[in-house]
């Protein structure tokens, strides 16, 4: 027997259909809002970027996309984020050491007490040569940024020594094309620093950043977009890709970047300078590392590579110093093991030197 439309529950009139559509839309909106609130509450333990008025203002950043960690910064106006805290109390009257670098020094992915600076600080105090360590990092930065920040860092901090942590990305063609501070290198190895366009703040960008900072969900989405953008930038901004897209003049200029960087860092930081080279794990000595070592020897600049220490630890202990439980093995930033190794190598290099007699 045929079933009529009425028995099937189908509305017979236009108003009934419209009421049904409104009801469905309402349920959809309620579902979306409920999901948003659920994500907002669920993400709060893992995502935050907030300021807290302790004895001095502290910026707290929670990270979840490489491990799970909470990073604290003192927003002192020096650098993009300020001083990455070490989790140790500062000692009155102790000399300061300065560690400068890119996202490996920012170290979102490890706890304060696991950073390379915290390791140096603890080892120095245990040995009777106590230091206070300041760490300034810029995500995605290159050599130009470390040069542009030199005067402000030295005047404000007056450190006994400055360790600039470099890798091949910092002193290659990317230093000429960076969105932060980029450099132009002349044939005589003199450089000109150019302000990156992304640093130009707008009222809309400022309001957007403030709004996303209040919501864990918005901040998580903002960071995810940033990660995707960074990956695309790295893929399209690899040295080979950039050089393929430009003429040979860029390749010639890129070849001058390592020497120009050493000369400029020496001029900016003086005898305080120690260049630390931190390569990828599991690779032999890179050509740029060998070049950098030779240049530093030629110019009388202190140089330390952690390549051998990283390789030795991997071979002896069968563990990785990069990567996290939620990333591919050995891929990404240095984990707590990597920071421990680098911190130990920095202190091993410095402990035989007179820290307090260096210019301050």
Per-domain residue ranges of the chain: 48-350
Q: Which residue has the tokens 């709060």?
A: 44
Higher pLDDT, 21 or 2: 21
Residue 68 banded pLDDT, cuts 50, 70, 90: confident
Whether residue 72 is predicted with pLDDT greater than 70 in this model: the reply is yes
Q: Provide the whole-model pTM.
A: 0.81
Q: Are strands 161-166 and 96-101 parallel, antiparallel or unpaired?
A: parallel
Angstrom distance (rounded) from CA 152 to CA 172: 25
DSSP-derived secondary structure for 222-282: HHHHHHHHHHHHHHHTSHHHHHHHS-HHHHHHHHHHHHHHHHHHHHHHGGGEEEEE---TT
Higher pLDDT, 18 or 354: 18
Residue-averaged pLDDT of the chain: 84
Residue 291 banded pLDDT, cuts 50, 70, 90: very high
Angstrom distance (rounded) from CA 214 to CA 245: 41
Reported as type and span, the H/E element at residue 341 is helix 336-350
Angstrom distance (rounded) from CA 289 to CA 45: 40
Give the Å distances, CA to CA, from 6 to 22, 91, 112, 198. 21, 83, 68, 62
Angstrom distance (rounded) from CA 318 to CA 337: 12
State the number of CA atoms in the 13 A half-sphere of 188 facing the CB. 2
- Give me the CATH code for the 48-350 domain, please: 3.40.50.1110
Residue 357 banded pLDDT, cuts 50, 70, 90: very low
Residue 199 banded pLDDT, cuts 50, 70, 90: very low
DSSP-derived secondary structure for 100-165: EESHHHH-TTS-GGGSHHHHHHHHHHHTT---EEEEEE-TT--HHHHHHTHHHHHHHH--SEEEEE
Q: What are the phi and psi torsion angles at 179 (to 5°)?
A: -85, -5
Higher pLDDT, 80 or 194: 194
Per DSSP, the three-state class of 305 is strand
Q: What is the pLDDT of residues 211-247, one digit of tens each?
A: 666 676 666 666 666 666 655 655 554 555 555 555 6
Higher pLDDT, 143 or 17: 143
**Start-to-end C-alpha separation, the chain:** 98
pLDDT of residue 257: 97
Whether residue 107 is predicted with pLDDT greater than 60 in this model: the reply is yes
Residue whose C-alpha is closest to residue 121's, from 110, 108, 109, 135: 135
Whether residue 209 is predicted with pLDDT greater than 70 in this model: the reply is no
Tokens of 344: 């130990």
pLDDT of residue 213: 60
């Amino acid at each position: 027997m045929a079933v009529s439309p009425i028995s099937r529950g189908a509305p017979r009139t236009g108003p009934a259909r419209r009421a049904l559509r409104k009801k469905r839309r309402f349920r959809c909106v309620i579902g979306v809002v409920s999901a948003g609130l659920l994500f907002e509450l669920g993400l709060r333990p893992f995502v935050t970027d907030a300021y807290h008025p302790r004895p001095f203002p502290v910026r707290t950043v929670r990270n979840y996309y490489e491990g799970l960690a909470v990073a604290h910064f003192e927003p002192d106006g020096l650098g993009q984020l300020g001083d990455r805290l070490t989790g140790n109390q500062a000692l009155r009257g102790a000399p300061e050491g300065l560690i400068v670098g890119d996202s490996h020094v920012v170290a979102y992915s490890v706890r304060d007490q696991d950073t390379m600076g915290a390791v140096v600080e603890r080892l120095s105090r245990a040995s009777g040569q106590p230091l206070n360590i300041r760490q300034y990092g810029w995500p995605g930065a290159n050599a130009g940024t470390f040069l542009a920040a030199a005067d402000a860092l030295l005047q404000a901090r007056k450190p006994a020594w400055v360790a600039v942590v470099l890798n091949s990305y910092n002193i290659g063609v990317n230093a000429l094309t960076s969105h932060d501070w980029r450099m132009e290198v002349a044939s005589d190895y003199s450089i000109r620093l150019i302000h990156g366009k992304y640093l130009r703040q707008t009222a809309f960008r400022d309001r957007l950043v403030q709004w996303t900072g209040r919501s864990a969900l918005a901040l998580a989405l903002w960071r995810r977009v940033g990660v995707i953008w960074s990956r695309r930038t790295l893929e399209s901004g690899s040295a080979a890709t950039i050089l393929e897209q430009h003429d040979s003049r860029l390749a010639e200029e890129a070849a001058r970047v390592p020497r120009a960087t050493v000369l400029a860092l020496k001029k900016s930081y003086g005898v305080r300078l120690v260049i630390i080279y931190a390569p990828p794990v599991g690779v032999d000595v890179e050509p740029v590392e060998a070049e950098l070592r030779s240049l530093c020897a030629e110019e009388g600049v202190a140089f330390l590579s952690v390549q051998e220490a990283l390789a030795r630890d991997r071979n002896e202990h069968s563990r990785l110093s990069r990567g996290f439980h939620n990333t591919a093995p050995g891929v990404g930033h240095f984990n707590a093991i990597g920071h421990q190794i680098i911190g130990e190598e920095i202190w091993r290099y410095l402990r035989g030197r007179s820290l307090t007699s260096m210019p301050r």
